[in-house]
């Protein structure tokens, strides 16, 4: 028998070429699968996807040509991990479930964790949702209906109902026996919750502590009484902050009476952090998270309002310029240099605004430190303004052979970048205080401020000095 190590290192093993992707997909694999779907080669596809993770399979479905997605599901009927549906982009999943009947949807929904199942169900139309729920056994249906009753993006939507809770008068031996004898254990859990007779959580025992303790040790003697309890209606962004701030792996969810009703684990929070970060980035650009796989009409419609608002702000900037039309007619160099002032101010403002929006989202920017950070951003803006003012002033002087034009654009540059830094901080903070999402509206206001201030400062100075 030839030892594997005897093969040349640059020569792949026999099965490596057709192996499942270790981290994500590549174009070659996607193309091979598409070709196999078109020639209806089910055996090839089954062999290729045998050991794939659900997330990789979901990525594959998203990358397939839309016309090949349903044939792929038909080929994989009975072989597809239900988690694939929860990993899919919402638009792609909606397209697929539109061609399924209620029983087919219920079949995979009932195999998902409660929180993932709720995510799938909440995207269905109400009548379709009711039809699917009717196909699900009564006990599971009640849990799903309870999950759907909580607000979107709340802790209630994130939590898992399946957890381990024991009374405080038990000892470790009883707890371990319970874990061994219970069939309905969570797939993954990190700690055991200790509850009082009213089912209120009074402490936790990390699983590793339980395994290291003697059987006769009382639960109350080793439980950690310090715990972070999450109200069922808490926003998922605040939940994510708690996990990040206190390095939690799991946390109990309680109802209005303080009773334990669920648990949130860190794997769910990783998804939330990713979603919130993606949402902030997309909103800064005026696009939505479903733009990639959405229809042409829905994508165009979602972007229209943002572009319309930007049109209005551009008109406002143009109106400001119109007040100096005589100045621009007299000195053509101003028309050439004017966009530089506005562009530099806009970029400087966007930098500060991006930092501020993210700091607000992570609660790092507060009333206590706002003045200090604003002062820092002002100094940074002033330093950058001076450097670029000297640079562009010298260029304008040489270009147009006029020291006055060089001084005008240099002064306007310093002023606009300074205002941009201040606006980039104050606009998001002000919007946040007004309970308006700063990720959505900040860039419109900051860009408007930097454009108008830049144009007015530059043309106003030119009018005063040159005319």
pLDDT truncated to tens, each residue of the chain (467 aa)? 434 344 344 444 444 444 444 556 788 888 999 999 999 999 999 998 988 988 899 999 988 998 999 999 999 988 899 999 988 888 888 888 888 889 999 999 988 888 888 888 988 888 899 999 999 988 889 888 888 989 888 999 989 888 999 999 999 999 999 999 888 788 788 899 999 999 999 999 999 989 999 999 999 999 999 999 999 999 998 999 899 889 899 999 999 999 999 999 998 898 888 777 776 666 666 655 555 555 666 666 666 666 677 677 777 777 877 777 777 666 778 888 888 888 888 888 888 888 888 788 777 888 888 888 888 888 998 899 899 999 989 998 998 888 998 999 899 989 999 999 999 999 999 988 888 878 777 888 888 888 889 888 888 888 888 77
List helix spans (H) across 160-265: 172-181, 207-212, 219-222, 236-246
Cβ distance 183 to 209 under 8 Å? no
User: CB neighbours (10 Å) of residue 461?
Assistant: 19
pTM over 0.75: no
- The pLDDT value recorded for residue 14 is 41
- The pLDDT value recorded for residue 176 is 93
Tell me phi and psi for residue 252, to 5 degrees.
Answer: -80, 145
C-alpha 232/C-alpha 242 separation (Å) is: 14
- Between helix 403-433 and helix 333-361 the angle, nearest 10°, is 30
- The pLDDT value recorded for residue 6 is 42
Look at the alpha carbons of 413, 414, 415, 420 in this order and tell me if their dihedral is positive or negative.
Answer: positive
Single out the residue of 210, 206, 218, 286 nearest to residue 247, CA to CA: 206
């Amino acid at each position: 028998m030839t030892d594997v190590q005897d093969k040349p290192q640059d020569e792949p093993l026999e099965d490596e070429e057709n192996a499942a992707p270790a981290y994500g997909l590549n174009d070659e694999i996607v193309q091979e699968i598409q070709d196999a779907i078109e020639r209806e080669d089910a055996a090839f596809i089954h062999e290729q996807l045998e050991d794939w993770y659900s997330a990789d399979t979901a990525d594959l479905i998203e990358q397939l040509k839309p016309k090949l997605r349903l044939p792929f599901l038909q080929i994989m009927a009975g072989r597809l991990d239900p988690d694939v549906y929860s990993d899919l982009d919402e638009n792609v999943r909606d397209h697929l479930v539109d061609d399924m009947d209620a029983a087919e949807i219920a079949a995979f929904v009932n195999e998902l964790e409660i929180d993932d199942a709720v995510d799938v169900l909440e995207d269905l139309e109400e009548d379709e949702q009711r039809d699917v729920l009717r196909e699900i056994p009564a006990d599971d249906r009640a849990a799903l209906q309870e999950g759907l009753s909580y607000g979107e993006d709340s802790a209630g939507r994130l939590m898992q109902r399946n957890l381990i809770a024991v009374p405080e008068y038990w000892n470790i031996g009883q707890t371990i026996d319970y874990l061994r004898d219970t069939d309905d254990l969570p797939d993954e859990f990190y700690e055991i919750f200790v509850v009082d007779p009213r089912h209120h959580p009074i402490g936790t025992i990390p699983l590793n502590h339980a395994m290291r303790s003697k059987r006769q040790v009382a639960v109350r003697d080793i439980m950690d009484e310090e715990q972070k309890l999450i109200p069922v209606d808490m926003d998922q962004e605040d939940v994510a902050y708690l996990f990040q701030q206190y390095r939690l792996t799991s946390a109990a969810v309680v109802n209005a009476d303080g009773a334990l009703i669920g648990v949130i684990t860190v794997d769910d929070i990783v998804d939330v952090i990713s979603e919130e970060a993606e949402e902030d980035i997309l909103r800064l650009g005026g696009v939505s998270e479903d733009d990639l796989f959405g229809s042409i009409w829905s994508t165009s419609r979602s972007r229209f309002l943002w572009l319309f608002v930007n049109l209005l702000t551009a008109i406002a900037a143009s109106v400001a310029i119109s007040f100096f039309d005589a100045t621009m007619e007299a000195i053509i160099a101003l028309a050439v240099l004017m966009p530089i002032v506005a562009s530099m101010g806009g970029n400087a403002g966007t930098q500060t605004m991006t930092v501020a929006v993210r700091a607000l989202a992570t609660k790092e920017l507060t009333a206590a430190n706002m003045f200090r950070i604003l002062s820092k951003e002002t100094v940074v803006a002033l330093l950058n303004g001076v450097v670029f003012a000297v640079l562009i002033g010298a260029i304008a002087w040489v270009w147009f052979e006029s020291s006055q034009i060089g001084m005008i654009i240099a002064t306007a540059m310093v002023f606009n970048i300074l205002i941009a830094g201040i606006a980039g901080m104050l606009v998001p903070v002000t919007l946040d205080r007004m309970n308006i999402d700063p990720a959505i509206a900040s860039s419109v206001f900051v860009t408007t401020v930097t454009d108008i201030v830049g144009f007015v400062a530059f043309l106003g100075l030119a009018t005063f000095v040159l005319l």
